[in-house]
Amino acid sequence: MALIVQKYGGSSVADTDSIKRVAKRIVETKRAGNDVAVVVSAMGDTTDDLIDQALSIDSNPPAREMDMLMTAGERISMSLLAMAIHAEGSQARSFTGSQAGFMTDAQFGTAHIKSVRPARVRKAMEEGCVAIAAGFQGVSEIGDATTLGRGGSDTSAVALAVALGADVCEIYTDVDGVFTADPRIVPTARRIPAIDYESILEMTSCGAKVLALRCVEYAQRFGMPLHVRSSFSHRSGTVIVPDGVDPRSLPNLA
């Protein structure tokens, strides 16, 4: 039995049908005998819509209030996903960033994770539930809601995986892994089955948008294997592993 952390981005949970599809996948992973924790982003364009609403009210909104607003999107998707998993016959509990133990500094909008204390997440899994954490958000030392900036849900997922001692962190997106070029633009682009941290960091720093830079740096620092794959297929994606780790040894490759 493996402990797997799965992260689903906004395109994977864009609407209720997508959330139901994701729930089926999570339940399949759970029923295969794995412990599963999930980090989820806001649905589709929710974050952008919230920003637009804020700016229509105040062209220079207070950073603290913006972070309070921004955390709303993930709370919607996490609770709907928990309901969808329940509808599939499994149990799930959702947690905000603060409830999941994401402790950050107080840099509103670009907060950094200082530590993760996932006691409630771990307890939920020990009791047989899928634990769902809101990505992109945490809480400061004095209790204010904070957000991690663009790509923050990827970083949340890796940080949670490290804190839980997971076997792998799966990052689900709308493409089948990391490619030699954007397959939506270049039809002849080839999927890269396995890659090392340094290569993916170089690709990311040069503009590749598959993974957030901070997410890869965090994974490299703690040697957390990543599996980037599509939530719209069951094909294997791209595995990113530390030196000396056989990519074929990771769980849930199929």
pLDDT band at 254 (very low <50, low <70, confident <90, very high): low
Is residue 116 assigned to a domain?
yes
pTM above 0.85, yes or no: yes
How many domains does the chain fold into? Answer: 1
Instruction: Give CA angle at 30 (179, 35), nearest 5°.
Output: 90
Mean pLDDT (the chain) is 93
Using CA atoms, how far residue 59 sits from 40, 51, 53, 54, 66, in Å, is: 29, 10, 10, 8, 12
Residues of the domain holding 212:
3-249
pLDDT in tens, 185-236: 888 989 999 999 999 898 877 776 778 888 999 999 999 999 999 999 988 8
- Name the residue among 172, 119, 126, 128 with its Cα closest to residue 27: 128
Percent of the chain's residues with pLDDT above 70: 99
Task: Answer yes or no: is 7 within a domain.
Answer: yes
CATH number, domain containing residue 81: 3.40.1160.10
More confident of the two residues 64 and 245: 64
Instruction: Please give the biggest Cα pair distance in the chain.
Output: 53
What are the tens digits of pLDDT across the range 114-163?
999 999 999 999 999 999 999 999 999 999 999 999 889 999 999 999 99
* Residue 106 belongs to a domain: yes
Percent of the chain with pLDDT over 90: 78
Q: Which residues pair with 3 in a beta bridge?
A: 35
> Has residue 254 been placed in a domain?
no
Which run of H or of E encompasses 52? helix 46-57
Residue 117, Cβ neighbours under 10 Å: how many?
12
Q: Is residue 153 part of a domain?
A: yes
What pLDDT sits at residue 234? Answer: 87
